[in-house]
Structure 1
Amino acid sequence: MSARAQSLGPVAEVADDARTPPEIALIYDDIRMTMGNPVVNLVFRRLAALGVPVLSMAWQGLRPAYADGRLNALADALAPPVPGRAPVSDWADRQEGATMRRIVLDYDGNNRRNLIAFSALLGPVAGDGPAVRAPEGSRRAARADPWLAAMRAAPLAQAAPPLPDPATLDAATRACLDRLDAFGDPGSGPPRASLYRHLAHWPGFLHSAEAALAPLHDSGVLAQATAAMQQRAARAVRLLPDLAMDSAFQARIDPAIGALVRRIIPKMVPIGRALGAMLLPEHGGEG
């Protein structure tokens, strides 16, 4: 394990910051450039903790599908509606709201692509059913997405602050993160969703989000949204058989990213959209 790996439970990650080892930082930079997004998500940071060869092999296997637009097109088709209806947060009209919207938007763009890519890398689950239809025309064919349009129309910060170090968060914020992480989760325990941690720059918003999401969790709305995302991603994977790695490599990385791909990303795509809707000044988009 790298000396820079942070232990956040049973599995470590290599943070994306100024102290990242040079070989890993180069790969992180290529991930950012290829994906056109400043966020290097937890799925990559966990692979980095397994070593440069593991991260490099996974990224080189997936990179062509990110670069040629196949994942963009499939991710467009995967875009879910906002689950339920959460109240607009009073943070929406604050200056910080533009930064929070930028964070949510960046995670949404990456999470949908990463869910498909890494599900394909780990291999389809037997009985996933028929594949979704590939978008016709351009591989980046537009798909109606009211939430995305509303988020892009709202004021957005040009950049976001870095992901907070867990050690810098106070006990109340960490406890709130623990409660949030249970929402919509078909399992239990780690890993913790990075989107919540990134929004921990504003603990007050996290508490508002907890109050808004709790009824959606208790009613089963978030569980249904998570299950729907798992099913749609599993069908999309059948269009990308070339991304599956050999079984030995899959077995090597599954303990590090399996739960993240099967549980955490599927729940955070719809939850991220609910958080975004809370941050729209006039509650634009779906909801």
Structure 2
Amino acid sequence: MSDPVPAVTEAAATGETAAIFADIRQVLGVDVVNLVWRHLATIDGALPWAWRALRPLYADGSVAGEAAALRSDLVLPSMPAIRPEVYAGLGLRPNDLAAIRDVLAAYDHTNAMAAVALTALRARLDGRAPGNVEASEPMPVAAAPRIWLPKLLDLSGLRPETAALVTTLNGFGTRRPGAVLASMYRHLAHWPPYLSFAWLLLAPPDSDGRLAGAIDAAQRLAASRADRLLVRLAASAALPPPALAARISAAIEPFAGDVIVKMLVICAFLRRVTA
């Protein structure tokens, strides 16, 4: 399979969908359109409404500001520094590590933003009033250099042992059955030895509960930061018709409610260890 949930591929996008995908890449400063947006594109009217609601908050730096605060407040499982010879022993050359760090940096950039933005959007769709918090403020955001990412690999095209490793890694930190397959692991599958290394890093905190604790804490932090965006959304984003609102909320829930915050923690942890 090419995607774990129904999605419009970037190559297949046409018309308004292609234009929104291009705008997402430009505004977010990334080379790929994350799965949640491509999934929304399969629902008539969902992608235009969702992007129209959130785009101003992305464009004026509000989302980036809340995401930066979220990242700074994350409490990650402890891990000693990894010596360079460990990577050399795995057969990972300097150019491999540079590309792996780019993948982690790209997802670290988008995960925190998606966690706060989509949590706020789902709260708006569900009619929840923001808490007693101040609205997010626009903030200047320096244009980040575009990060090149390798081709997103199909699970079905991987060697069986690599595909099994991707699936196993995706289970770490998962709090519900049938979790969405995180795209980050499919990008990292270009380097199977690194996936094996990631398993060794993640298995202990997953088994002893430290990873789950970090994810639960991150979920609470994301919700708190999202409330500041919700104040703005409640004032600016008119709700779509009830049937469409329910479909968009249901489409966002597996991402905002599970996989994005999970991968926010895991990616930040791997990025720190692989620095």
Q: What TM-score do you get using the length of structure 1 for normalisation? A: 0.79
Partner of 2:7, secondary structure, is strand
% same residue: 36
1:145-164 correspondence runs (5 A): 159-164=148-153
- 1:157 CA drift (Å): 9.8
CA distance in structure 2 between the aligned counterparts of 1:87 and 1:19, rounded to whole angstroms: 43
2:248 alignment partner AA: I
Aligned partners of 1:226 and 1:267 also within 8 Å: yes
1:215 and 2:201 are equivalent in the alignment:
no
Pairing 1:196–2:177 present: no
Separation (CA, whole Å) in 1 of partners of 2:164 and 2:129: 36
Deviates more, 1:157-166 or 1:42-51: 157-166
Q: Please report how far the alpha carbon of residue 180 of structure 1 lies from its aligned counterpart in structure 2 after TM superposition.
A: 0.8
> Match of 2:29?
36
Task: For structure 1, list consecutive stretches of 5 or more residues without a partner in the other structure.
Answer: 1-5, 143-151, 281-287
Give me the whole-angstrom Cα distance separating, in 2, the residues matched to 1:249 and 1:239.
24
SS of residue in 2 equivalent to 1:12: coil
1:27-106 matches, within 5 Å, as: 27-51=20-44, 53-79=45-71, 80-85=74-79, 88=82, 90=87, 94-106=94-106
Question: How far off its partner does 1:87 sit?
Answer: 5.9
Alignment partners' CA distance in 2, 1:84 and 1:129:
34
Which deviates more from structure 2 when the two are superposed, residues 28-37 or residues 126-135?
A: 126-135
Structure-2 change in CA distance of 1:273 and 1:15 (3 Å): same
Distance 1:129 1:203, change over 3 A: same
- Write the letter of the residue equivalent to 1:12: P
RMSD over equivalenced CA pairs, Å: 3.0
The one of 252, 277, 281 aligned to 2:272: 277
1:270 and 1:64 mapped to 2: Cα distance? 26
The equivalent residue for 1:117 is 117
Distance, in Å, in 2 between the alignment partners of 1:158 and 1:227 is: 29
The more displaced of 242-251 and 169-178 is 242-251
Q: Match of 1:145?
A: none
Aligned partner (choices 230, 239, 242) of residue 219 of structure 2: 230
Code of the aligned partner of 2:253: G
Provide the rounded CA distance (Å) in 1 between the counterparts of 2:40 and 2:131: 30
Cα distance between partner residues in 1 of 2:57 and 2:146: 28
Q: CA deviation at 1:174?
A: 1.7
After superposition, give the CA deviation of every residue in 1:111-154 in whole Å (9 maximum; x if it has no partner). Answer: 11111111111107899996677788x72589xxxxxxxxx9xx
User: Aligned to 1:243, which of 212, 233, 239?
Assistant: 233
Deviations 1:27-83 (A, max 9, x none): 1110011112223111111111224x3211111111000001111111111002443
After superposition, the Cα gap between the structure-2 partners of 1:234 and 1:158, relative to the gap in structure 1 and judged at 3 Å, is: closer
How far 1:86 moved relative to its partner? 6.1
Inter-CA distance 228–129: structure 2 relative to 1 (3 Å threshold): farther
Aligned partners of 1:13 and 1:42 also within 8 Å: yes
**Structure 2 unaligned residues grouped into runs of 5+:** none
Comparing 169-178 and 114-123, the one that deviates more: 169-178
Amino acid at match of 1:201: H
Which consecutive aligned stretches of 4+ in structure 1 deviate over 3 angstroms post-superposition?
A: 6-9, 18-23, 124-136, 244-250
Higher helix proportion = 2
After superposition, the Cα gap between the structure-2 partners of 1:166 and 1:128, relative to the gap in structure 1 and judged at 3 Å, is: farther
Q: How many residues are matched?
A: 259
Counterpart of 1:256 (choices 251, 256, 259) is 251
Letter in 2 for 1:254: S
Counterpart amino acid of 1:277?
A: R
Once structures 1 and 2 are overlaid, which stretch shifts more, 237-246 or 114-123? Answer: 237-246
- 1:25 lines up with 2:15 in the alignment: no
Change (3 A) 1:77 1:134: farther
Q: CA offset at residue 7 of structure 1?
A: 6.6
CA distance in 1, matches of 2:32, 2:3: 19
